[in-house]
Amino acid sequence: MDALSTPQVTLLVVYCGIVAVLSLLGFHRWHNLRLYLRHRHDRIEPQAQFDQLPGVTVQLPIYNEYHVVERLISAVGRLDYPLERLQIQVLDDSTDETQSRAEAAVSRLQEKGIDIEYVHRNHRTGFKAGALDHGLQSAKHEFIFILDADFVPPADVLHRSMHHFTDPGIGMVQMRWGHINRHHSLLTRIQSIFLDGHLVVEHTARSRSGRFFNFNGTAGIWRRRAIDEAGGWTHDTLTEDLDLSFRSQLAGWRFRYLPEVEVPAELPVEMNAFKSQQHRWTKGAVQTAKKILPRVWRAPLPMKVKIEATFHLTANSSHLLILTMAILMLPVLSIRELIPWQQRVFIIDLPMFCMATMAVSGFYLASQQALYKDWKTSIKYLPLLMAVGISLCVNNARAVLEGLIGYQTGFHRTPKYGATGETRALGAKYAGAKTIIAAIELMMAVYFVFVIAKAWSVQMYAGIPFLMLFHAGFLYTGVLSGLQPFFSRCWLPLTRPVAA
């Protein structure tokens, strides 16, 4: 083996360091999967039943939701709950025709004797957190059920959830998101698997093993005191739900997760909308980590809670690491051809393969097996799932950097179109805009053509499938980001029924 220069050794050390950190994150995913498998059959029952159901205020924060606002309000109007103990607030910050649609839908329910009010702010101070806090000022009841505009709650959701609050220490009950348009496209199918992994495996593992877990911003019920004692809604992060969740649990409140109670919702159908959502969640988690982690480590909490909270709030750093690793691939390949194959495999390749590929596969397949009879059909989506997860590193690394340096941006809503699984595309009213990120993703796809060619030339054939994930992911994400704003201007009915 030829002697390596100091810059080459430095580059290789940096690369191996990145692999080590990503392997640690992969090990954490294995650990969460182990906790899930240990606790998945635990029965979480209410400690008692209310003799008389308590009052509930339903808050519907909306902003320019023209396509879905009527569906949302109609579904909430069908909730099976005593009318004298139910209040509905439509918290509308819209600036478009959504206002008139929402007001008309509210009027129809008022005529039926339902206690529902339309609350409009002519500003967006605090964005969603500001709207929720504004609504609390006129909330009549102790329990607050929050639903985003793209959700369609089943009529019995409150009956199935409220009795858990007979335990006076429970501050929040979270239900599992379902997916109305799971089969709409390849993109929505991939998103559904991503979310199922979080909502089934992570939430179950954390909540039932005594770790902190978070309110997902919607499809959850809060005890008003748990909000107030945590300091209320704040808007200094883009993930006001994650922030309040940790503050509330630090204040001593316990949360409960109900995976058996499904509340269907609409998945983003555009790549740019999906990336915008991911950017907001990633940046908000970084902002929350900076704000909350010092308090977590100062708090008198078990070490397992502190460690899990740290992994939970810092896991998005992986996007920055993956992007750096991707950029270093080509120069590192040139260095690695000088290293004997035994060292190359066991020092660099094997940990990445085991901790990334296998961890991801087991993690997401476990969620599919728990939810769907046809879970084995999800196996074929795993390569593209991993490819898309990798390709998001450009979009999300930007979010991580913005969160770290404190760069402030507004709350960008995720467009919804009232998709039902029976229509293929949507109309352009809220079509996502193209950004420079798509061009960078396509450049990375081209870059990996050269990386793959280099791997072939140095006979590193075993690594080519791994490199193909990078190329395919960047190409898929970049092309869809550029073309979907065009396709969204069409409305194409499906030619065949869509599976439920």
Cα-based angle 63, 66, 71 (whole degrees, multiple of 5): 100
- Cβ(160)–Cβ(246) below 8 Å: no
Nearest by Cα to 255 from 155, 167, 160: 167
Which tokens in the block code for residue 79?
């909730």
Give residue 6's Cα distance to chain centre. 42
Catalytic residue among 133, 196, 241, 243: 241
Rounded Cα distance, 174 and 258, in Å: 6
The one-letter amino acid code at 321 reads L
Nearest by Cα to 429 from 72, 92, 95: 95
Catalytic residue among 93, 133, 196, 243: 93
Rounded Cα distance, 343 and 307, in Å: 32
Nearest by Cα to 212 from 275, 303, 320, 139: 303
Q: Which residue has the tokens 């020092």?
A: 347
At 454 the three-state DSSP class reads: helix
Active site residue 241: yes
Q: Residue 52: which residues within 8 A CB-CB, separation 6 or more?
A: none
Which H or E run contains 119? strand 116-120
Would you please indicate which residues are annotated as catalytic (active-site) residues? 93, 241
